[in-house]
Copies of this chain bind each other. A is one copy, B any other.
Amino acid sequence: MQTSSLKKLAQKCKLGAAALLTLDTESKNGTLRAMAAELRALSRAIIKANRQDIKAAQRSGLQRHLIDRLLLNDQRIDDMARGLEEVANLPDPVGETVSQWVRPNGLKVERVRIPLGVIGVIYESRPNVTVDAAGLCFKSGNAVFLRGGSEAIHSNKMLGRILQEVLKKKGIPPEAITVVPVTDRALLKAMLKLDGLIDLIIPRGGEGLMKFVAEHTRIPVVRHDKGICSIFVDESADFDMAVSIVENAKVSRPGVCNAAENLFVHEKIASSFLPRLVERLKKDGVEIRGDRKTASIVKGIKRATAKDWTTEYLDLILSIGVVNDIDEAIGLIRHYGSNHTEAIVTKDRANAGKFVKSLDSSCVMVNASTRFNDGGQLGLGAEIGISTTKVHAFGPMGLAELTTTKFVVHGEGQIRS
């Protein structure tokens, strides 16, 4: 595929976006439900396309857990279909009047929620992202330009074709959901140059992909980047609660961005709290790395290096530091953290307030696990990811975060003096 054909695809996608502007909620929901039905009806074809990806992955010696991420079966296809039905059931953000007022000269000013236009999603591996992202973008009135990884290309193309067929049947330009049919880096670069056609790029993937995207585009990017999430256990913390929150934040799913990586403990409780905590974490198979004070309380652990405090392990490793007070904890979290998710365990309301106010992370928890920083868990419905970019949307991005607002002004002939 040539750069010029890619541009044509994107132009058609943009025309699709214009058509979505005037679709009402009922037709969007009906279309999403029809897509779900069609995925289930065509599961054989999907699995057949997926098998090509799996075989290629096996031939190229891809690691087994990556092959598993790639695999589609009836259960996973049904999950995708249910995902679309859930999105159909969510409220439509488009057209909502966010606020309105009347100016002294009689102008009626409204801020109305509108789609962003065309959203470019760049992702790796899991083919379910194709359907999830298409569903969220469609419901929020956006056309989507989907560029998945080469390892899932047959699955993604088949899924894209099925969704497009449904759009066609409903009289909607099928290019409103476009799966880019090629995956080489040169063409990714060309896609990143389509400013004027793509309004927002959402990259989902490893650090290499993030960097590549940021380097090569002038289109606004909302990053879904790593989480160096920290917990501070304050002097007044309930020990049972603190142990359970730290364990949950570290152990329940260590490979995700809202898992905890660093723990800071108030020194007044360190010698009584840490042994209890470490006993539990060792049973969970967690490796502890600690600062000097921690190492003097918990024997036989590795010392945490500067690198440990800034590494997202995505693994059963936890770095622990003992701090003089909440201010030191806040300072260290600001220094080492990535503004993703932090938690404090405390009974002291003033300290909770200070912690919340001093940390500008996308989600700050008081007496709850960092694992709750997730669109579903926080009640946004579905999410397209967790933004670590402060601009536009910070934290979990649901349907509303895929929109913007415009001003609508009604007058009776007013002119400006």
Residues of B within 8 A of A406 (CB): 360-364, 394-395
Given A199-B391, A371-B415, A21 contacting B360 (CB threshold 8 A):
yes
Binary contact track A247-278/B, C-beta < 8 Å → 1, others 0: 11100100000000000000000000000000
Give complex CA distance A195, B214 in Å. Answer: 11
Given A409-B368, A410-B368, A252 contacting B415 (CB threshold 8 A):
yes
Q: Is the CB of A391 within 8 A of B21?
A: no
Partner pick for A365 among B21, B95, B409, CB 8 A cutoff:
B409
Q: Which of A22, A115, A389, A407 has the most CB of B within 10 A?
A: A407
Q: Is the CB of A378 within 8 A of B109?
A: yes
Binary contact track A78-121/B, C-beta < 8 Å → 1, others 0: 00000000000000000100000101000101001011110000
Given A117-B360, A367-B411, A379-B109, A404 contacting B390 (CB threshold 8 A):
yes
Among residues of B, the one whose C-beta sits closest to the C-beta of A141 is B360
Q: Which of A249, A377, A396 has the most CB of B within 10 A?
A: A377
Given A357-B22, A405-B394, A101 contacting B379 (CB threshold 8 A):
yes
Q: Which residues of A contact B (CB under 8 A)?
A: 18, 21-22, 95, 101, 103, 107, 109, 112, 114-117, 195, 199-200, 214-215, 218, 220-222, 238, 240-241, 244-245, 247-249, 252, 334, 352, 354, 356-358, 360-369, 371-373, 377-379, 389-396, 404-417
Q: List 12 A-B pairs, Cβ < 8 Å.
A: A117-B360, A220-B220, A241-B413, A244-B415, A248-B416, A252-B415, A364-B407, A367-B414, A368-B415, A369-B414, A371-B416, A394-B406
